[in-house]
A and B are shown apart, each in its own frame.
Chain A
Amino acid sequence: MTLKEAKDDDFDQKVVETSKEKPVLVDFWASWCMPCKQLKPTIEEIGKERDDIDVVKVNIDEAEEKPQEYGVRSVPNVNLFVDGEVVESFVGNRSKEDINEWIDENI
């Protein structure tokens, strides 16, 4: 039930620190990217439906450092943070069912 947005200055707190308490799903996206638009409603639904993780969206147009720090070379780029670190990531659009399974396997 937690859907947030993060930028460079609050990424560490909203993602890295929070993930030490519970897993955080991060979606790096861009407005010019059609697959990002396709993925957006899915990510938002997951954020609303799951209590066991936080979901944070990062618009790479508004955040330059963090995408670079985490090696984002393609969008949409979905990363799962556990205990302060990225445990798994994927690129491109996927179905809600697939993403939920992917989260369950990795948390």
Chain B
Amino acid sequence: MYDLVVVGAGPAGYTAALYAKRYDLDVAVVGEELGGLCSEAYIVENWPGTEEIEGQELMDNMKEQVEEIGVEVKQKKVEKIDRNETFLLETEEETLESHSVILALGAEKRRLEIPGEEELVGKGVSYCATCDAPLYRNKEVAVIGGADSGLKAAMQLAEHADRVRIFEATDRISAENIMIRKCEDNEKIEMNTGMAPQKFVGGEFLEGIVFENGEEIEVDGAFIEIGSEPNRSIEKVSGEEILRDDQGFIEVEEDMSTNVEGVFAAGDVTTGSNKLRQIVTASAEGAVAAYSAYGYVSEQKA
């Protein structure tokens, strides 16, 4: 029996566990993907106190830090959560029992949902520049999406590919100025606005992209970076629905509580932090959620 089980092993989950353990709670972190989306991040330059660090390294550090103080980290998918007097979290192999739960479910990369996309995933269409950039040495690639993540992917791709073209659907690139300058200074990178993809074309492999304005280009790879959406793998606790807003974010109070008593939420999956969705905001929410869970568990045990 745990005091707290944190579902999700990204920045919010690990920070929640770090704080909870320091309040002496018996805590486990259960996550399907250790490190979450952050581990796919190229170089993180806005984690205070660290000039730059790879996303994967940062997440490995967070994991080591919590394991060092006695938090159990399990790579498993929580299939469902039931509640009796306590919470029962079911995974493929075991069921964990806990007094409280923090949902740090994170976000998933959004898909374009245009023709050819699904068929060509892994055959030129990719959602992970960190994973696949080295496979595009001396090739031409496109990045779909002109926000921070798109520009970062472009920087990373430019280390391997010959030519990197960014296509933003709206009429402006909306990224941190520092990233825009870096892309402008990189002679391999071009930024295009007002270009919304209509379909991907190809047979065995991706060959090109057709845009809504009728333009067509030939490319070897297309990296989709159009943001993320909240993970929906857990919707209920014993039949009681966890309230989400119309975009699917779990609605939380300032103390990170949800509508279900004893269930808290933190990180990119919540409506918190004005939905800024950064590593630092996810971690902050994790800390607040842990403090609230500590209060709840103390009351339960009293």
**A residues with CB within 8 A of B:** 30, 32-36, 38, 41, 60, 67, 71-75, 77, 89-93, 95-97
Contact, CB under 8 Å: A74 / B121: yes
Q: Which of A35, A36, A41 has the most C-beta atoms of chain B within 10 angstroms of its own C-beta?
A: A35
Contact, CB under 8 Å: A71 / B204: yes
Contact, CB under 8 Å: B124 / A75: no
> In whole angstroms, what is the CA distance A74 to B33 when docked?
18
Q: Does B92 contact A (CB under 8 A)?
A: yes
Complex interface: stretch among B127-135, B238-246, B279-287: B127-135
Q: Does B75 contact A (CB under 8 A)?
A: yes
Q: Does B82 contact A (CB under 8 A)?
A: no
Contact, CB under 8 Å: A30 / B121: no
Given A30-B134, A32-B130, A71-B204, A93-B121 contact (CB < 8 Å): no
Contact, CB under 8 Å: B132 / A73: yes
Q: Would you mind naming 21 contact pairs between A and B with Cβ atoms under 8 Å apart? A: A30-B134, A32-B131, A32-B134, A33-B128, A33-B130, A34-B33, A34-B39, A34-B130, A38-B34, A71-B205, A72-B135, A73-B126, A73-B136, A73-B205, A74-B121, A74-B132, A75-B135, A89-B122, A90-B122, A91-B121, A93-B33
B116 to chain A, nearest CB (A): 14
Q: Does B77 contact A (CB under 8 A)?
A: yes
Given A73-B205, A97-B92, A91-B122 contact (CB < 8 Å): yes
Q: How many residues of B contact A (CB 8 A)?
A: 25
Contact, CB under 8 Å: A95 / B92: yes
| New A-B contacts (8) at CB < 8 Å, excluding given A34-B131, A36-B131 | A34-B33, A60-B135, A73-B122, A73-B126, A73-B132, A74-B128, A74-B132, A75-B132
A80 to chain B, nearest CB (A): 14
B68 to chain A, nearest CB (A): 20
> In whole angstroms, what is the CA distance A45 to B118 when docked?
29
Chain B residue contacts of A72, Cβ below 8 A: 135
B2 to chain A, nearest CB (A): 23
Q: Does B123 contact A (CB under 8 A)?
A: yes
Q: Does B145 contact A (CB under 8 A)?
A: no
Contact, CB under 8 Å: B33 / A35: yes
> In whole angstroms, what is the CA distance A53 to B126 when docked?
29
B130 to chain A, nearest CB (A): 7
Contact, CB under 8 Å: A34 / B40: yes
Chain B residue contacts of A67, Cβ below 8 A: 135
Chain B residue contacts of A90, Cβ below 8 A: 122
